[in-house]
Amino acid sequence: MQPKTDTALKEFRKFLLKNRITPKWVIFLLDLLICIGTFIYANYLLTDFKILSLNYETLSEGVMTVCVASSVSFFIFKTYEGIIRFSEIHETIRALSAVFCSFLIMLLFNGILVLSHATLYIPNSVLFGYFFCASFVICGYRILVKTLYQDDELDINAANVIIYGAEIKGSLLQKTIVSISNKQFKVVAFIDDNEMLAGKTIDSIRIYSPDQLQSLLKPLRIKYLFFSKPDIDASVKNKIADECLVHNVKLMNIPPADRWVHGHLNFKQISDVQIEELLGRPAIELCNENVANFISNRNILITGAAGSIGSELARQVAAMHPASLILCDQVETGLHDLEYELQQHFGLGAKLKFYLGDVKDIAAMDQLFSVYRPDIVFHAAAYKHVPVMESHPSEAIRNNVLGTKVLADLSEFYGVERFLFISTDKAINPTNIMGASKRLAEIYCHSLHHSSKDIPAVDPLVYRMDAVLGKTKFITTRFGNVLASNGSVIPRFREQIAKGGPVTVTDPEIIRYFMTIPEACSLVLEAVTMGNGGEIFLFDMGEPVKILDLATKMIKLAGYEPGKDIRIDFTGLRPGEKLYEELLNDKEEVIPTHHKKILIAKVQDDNKEEIMDQIMKLIDLANECRDDDVVKQMKFILPEYISNNSVYQLYDNKFTPQTNLASSV
C-alpha cells in the first residue's frame, strides 16, 4: 500500500510542476466547492450521518446561502489571486479571513430569519461546524500543495546544507536561504555549540553539537556549510573547516542580521570563507580607550599611508578624533583613494592632510614637518619585497635606512613627541638585503634615542634654531607576515587559483608567522601609547603556518582538489629567503609588559656613536650606487647578517672591511 501512495504523491508533484500556474477561476471554484462540501458535511455531522434525518429543503437553501456568502467573501479578500506554491503566512490568514467573513454573513442572515419567524433557517451549530471544517480544509490544501511542490523541487535540485548557528535566527535563516537561492539549497541540519539546543529541532530540522559534525557530512551528503555566527573562535572555525574540506564541503559566511539589505538577506551577501579567517588567533585585547585618549587632539603623521599597514593605521587613527591626520606617500592614486574613503567614513574635513612626497627627499620632508608640525610619527614607508631588494641593495639602503634617518632626524629637531618605526621579523638574524636594511634602521632609531651628542646631519636643511633635542621617544615594532597585505603570499595564491593554477610554493618545508592587518595596526597604536622610548615591541604570534598547508587549504576553500584540479609547483627558495623567520636573536632579552601577549625585546647596542658613523658611511655608498661596497658595509655593521641563496654569500666570513669605506668615494 505504501509504494502506491508514494507513486501517487510523485505523480501529483509532477502535475504541480508541469502546470506551472493554476488559473484564478480554478482556485475560486475549488474554494467554493470546499465551502459547499464542508457545509453539507456539517449538516451530516449534526444528524450523526443519518441521511433520512436531513431536511433537504433547508439544506438546499443553506447551500445557496453558502455560495453567495463565500463568493462575496472571496471577491472581497481576493483569495484566488495568490500563487499557492509561493504563498506565505499572510496568504493563509487571508483565506481564513474570507471563510470567517462568509461565516459572519450567514450568521447575520440566520439571525434575520429567526427574527422574522421564518420556518427555514440554518442551525447555528451547523454554521460553526462549517466554519471550522472549511477553515481547516482551505488552509490545509494550500499548505499541502506548497509542501509537495517545495519538497519535490528541493529533492531533485537542491544541495544539502548545514547551518552553523541555530538559536533564534535558525528558522528565519532556513527559510531565507531556501528562498533566496531559488531552491538551490536545502537545509538538513543545524550545528550549535549551545549544549541546551543539541537534540532539539527547528521546523523539523535537527540541531547537533559540533563534535557530531564529522559523522553527519557523508551520511547527509552535505555540500555546503554556512556560518551564521560572526563571533566563532578562529581555532573552532579552523577545526570545522578541516573536517569539512576533507569531504569537499564548501564553506560560506552569512552576514549578521543587522547587515542584511533593508532587513532581507541578499544572496550576494553570502560569501566564501577566506583563508584569513582560519589563520587568525584569539584576539589580543588592547587598551583601546587609553589609545584613543592618547591619540585624540594630537597631530598624527603616517608615512607609507597608501600601503596595507599605513592605510589601516589611518582608518583606526581617523576614528580616534585626532587634531589633524597627515598622510604621506609617493603613490598618487593610493593617496587619492584613501582620501575619498576616509572623508566618506569619518568626515574629517580640513583635519585630513595629504602630502605627496618621498621620505628620503630631505627638502620635501622638511617642508612637511615645518608646515604640519606632527606630534606623533608612524613611519610605515619601506621597500619590503625580498627578491627585489636583493637586486637593488643601494636603493634598499636609501629608502629603508636613509628614509628612516631623515624622518627620525626631523622628528628630533622639530620636537616630535613620539616616533614609531615599523620593522619586520626579517630584521632578526637577517639573510637578505631587505631584512638587514630594516635592522640597520632599527639600530639608528635606537641609537638616536640613547645618544647624547648632536645628530649627524645629511643636509643643512635639518638644522633649526627652535629644535628641541632629546625630547622625542623612538619606539620600534616588529611584525611577522601580514595577511592580505600588498604583495603577500595570500593574494598571490588567490590570483593563481583564480587562473586555474599552478600555485607556486618556494619550498615544501617553508613556514611563516601570520597576523591580520587590523591586529598589526592595533599593536602599533598600543606600542606608541605605552612606549617610553628605545623599546622594540613584539607579541605572541601563535603557531607558525606551513606555506604548503596554506596553499592546499586555499585551493580546497575555492572548491578545487589540490593536485587534481589545481597543481602545486615548488620553485625553490628565492634569493635571500630562508625557511623560517625568528622573533628574537640570541643577544636580545625579552621583558614582559602589562599584557601577557605583548613583549619588549631589549637590545644592547654598544658603541652607539661609532655605529651611527658607520651607517652614515653606508648611506654615502648607497648614494653612489656602489652595490658591492654597500653589502660589504652592511655585513661589517651587522655580523649576524649572513646571506642565504644570494650572490652576496661570497662576502660572508671572507671580507674584512676597511675602517672607512666611504673615504675612497
pLDDT band of 168, cuts 50, 70, 90: low
Question: Which of 212, 215, 188, 186 is CA-nearest to residue 202?
Answer: 188
Confidence check: pLDDT of 264 > 60: yes
- Long-range pairs for 175-181: beta carbons < 8 A, 24 or more residues apart: 175/203, 176/264, 176/265, 177/226, 177/254, 177/265, 178/150, 178/154, 180/265, 180/266, 180/267, 181/267
Domain total for the chain? 3
| Residue 85 shares a structural domain with residue 224 | no
Q: Would you state the pLDDT for residue 282?
A: 57
| Residue 240 shares a structural domain with residue 195 | yes
| Residue 254 shares a structural domain with residue 339 | no
Phi/psi of residue 632, nearest 5 degrees: -60, -45
Residue with the bigger pLDDT between 29 and 407: it is 407
Question: Which of 438, 422, 595 is CA-nearest to residue 524?
Answer: 422
What confidence tens digit (pLDDT) does each residue in 303-336 have? 999 998 999 999 999 999 999 999 999 999 999 9
| Residues in contact with 144: Cβ distance below 8 Å, sequence separation at least 6, in sequence order | none
The three cell numbers of residue 12 are 501529483
Question: Which of 591, 343, 552, 365 is CA-nearest to residue 457?
Answer: 365
Name the β-bridge partners of 227: 164, 253
Question: Which of 33, 48, 504, 597 is CA-nearest to residue 286?
Answer: 597
The parent domain of residue 614 ranges over 288-648
Contact 571, 645 (CB under 8 A): no
Q: Would you state the pLDDT for residue 276?
A: 76
Q: How far apart are CA 55 and CA 149, in angstroms?
A: 41
Phi/psi of residue 576, nearest 5 degrees: 85, -5
pLDDT band of 298, cuts 50, 70, 90: very high
Give, in degrees to the nearest 5, the angle at Cα 11 between 9 and 13.
70
User: Is 595 a member of any domain?
Assistant: yes
| Residue 405 shares a structural domain with residue 540 | yes
What confidence tens digit (pLDDT) does each residue in 505-529 have? 988 988 887 777 888 888 889 888 8
Last residue of a domain, one of 152, 182, 213: 152
Q: How far apart are CA 85 and CA 139, in angstroms?
A: 12
* DSSP secondary structure of 229-258: -TT--HHHHHHHHHHHHHTTPEEEE---GG
For residue 121, give the amino acid letter. Answer: Y
For residue 136, give the amino acid letter. Answer: F
Residue with the bigger pLDDT between 145 and 243: it is 243
| Residue 405 shares a structural domain with residue 373 | yes
Map residue 65 onto helix, strand or coil: helix
Q: Would you state the pLDDT for residue 335?
A: 93
pLDDT band of 471, cuts 50, 70, 90: confident
User: Is 380 a member of any domain?
Assistant: yes
Last residue of a domain, one of 243, 273, 303: 273
Summarize the chain as % helix, strand, coil (round to 5). 50, 15, 35
pLDDT band of 663, cuts 50, 70, 90: very low
| Residue 427 shares a structural domain with residue 345 | yes
| Residue 479 shares a structural domain with residue 576 | yes
Averaging pLDDT over each range in 160-169, 197-206, 394-403, 563-572, which range is the top one?
Answer: 394-403
C-alpha distance from residue 76 to each of 79, 97, 98, 199, 237 (Å): 8, 10, 8, 45, 53
Alpha-carbon dihedral angle through residues 87, 89, 90, 93, given to the nearest 10 degrees: 110
Question: Which stretches within 474-558 are classed as H helix?
Answer: 489-498, 517-530, 547-557
Mean pLDDT calculated for residue range 20-46? 77
Map residue 218 onto helix, strand or coil: coil
For residue 649, give the amino acid letter. Answer: Q
Question: Which of 445, 357, 393 is CA-nearest to residue 576?
Answer: 393
Q: How far apart are CA 320 and CA 307, in angstroms?
A: 20
User: Is 662 a member of any domain?
Assistant: no
Q: Would you state the pLDDT for residue 1?
A: 46
Q: How far apart are CA 186 and CA 209, in angstroms?
A: 20
- Any idea what the CATH number is for the domain that residue 246 is in? 3.40.50.720
User: Is 653 a member of any domain?
Assistant: no
Half-sphere exposure of 117 (CA within 13 A, CB side): 0
| Residue 334 shares a structural domain with residue 428 | yes
Helix (H) or strand (E) segment spanning residue 342: helix 332-346
Last residue of a domain, one of 125, 152, 179: 152
| Residue 344 shares a structural domain with residue 415 | yes
Confidence check: pLDDT of 253 > 60: yes
Q: Would you state the pLDDT for residue 657?
A: 46
Phi/psi of residue 551, nearest 5 degrees: -65, -45
Question: Which of 356, 329, 164 is CA-nearest to residue 249?
Answer: 164
The mean predicted confidence, pLDDT, of the chain is 79
Range in 122-136, 317-331, 396-410, 415-429 the model is least confident about: 122-136
C-alpha distance from residue 489 to each of 252, 428, 484, 485 (Å): 22, 20, 8, 9
| Residue 644 shares a structural domain with residue 564 | yes
Q: How far apart are CA 660 and CA 614, in angstroms?
A: 8
pLDDT band of 642, cuts 50, 70, 90: very high
Q: How far is CA 311 from the centre of its chain?
A: 17
| Residue 126 shares a structural domain with residue 183 | no
Question: Which of 359, 444, 377 is CA-nearest to residue 414?
Answer: 377
Helix (H) or strand (E) segment spanning residue 613: helix 608-623
Confidence check: pLDDT of 368 > 80: yes
pLDDT band of 664, cuts 50, 70, 90: very low
The three cell numbers of residue 463 are 638644522
Averaging pLDDT over each range in 113-122, 336-345, 556-565, 584-593, which range is the top one?
Answer: 336-345
The three cell numbers of residue 551 are 596553499
User: Is 663 a member of any domain?
Assistant: no
What confidence tens digit (pLDDT) does each residue in 56-105 have? 666 777 778 888 888 888 787 777 665 555 555 667 777 788 888 888 88
User: Is 665 a member of any domain?
Assistant: no
What confidence tens digit (pLDDT) does each residue in 213-242 have? 888 888 888 888 888 877 777 778 888 888
Q: Give the global pTM.
A: 0.69
Phi/psi of residue 199, nearest 5 degrees: 95, -15
Q: Would you state the pLDDT for residue 7?
A: 55
Q: Would you state the pLDDT for residue 465?
A: 39
User: Is 402 a member of any domain?
Assistant: yes
| Residues in contact with 116: Cβ distance below 8 Å, sequence separation at least 6, in sequence order | none
What confidence tens digit (pLDDT) does each residue in 620-639 have? 999 999 999 999 999 999 98
Q: Judging by beta carbons within 10 Å of its beta carbon (0-12, 13-18, 19+), is residue 204 exposed, middle or buried?
A: exposed
Alpha-carbon dihedral angle through residues 578, 583, 585, 588, given to the nearest 10 degrees: 170
Helix (H) or strand (E) segment spanning residue 632: helix 627-637
| Residue 197 shares a structural domain with residue 102 | no
User: Is 655 a member of any domain?
Assistant: no
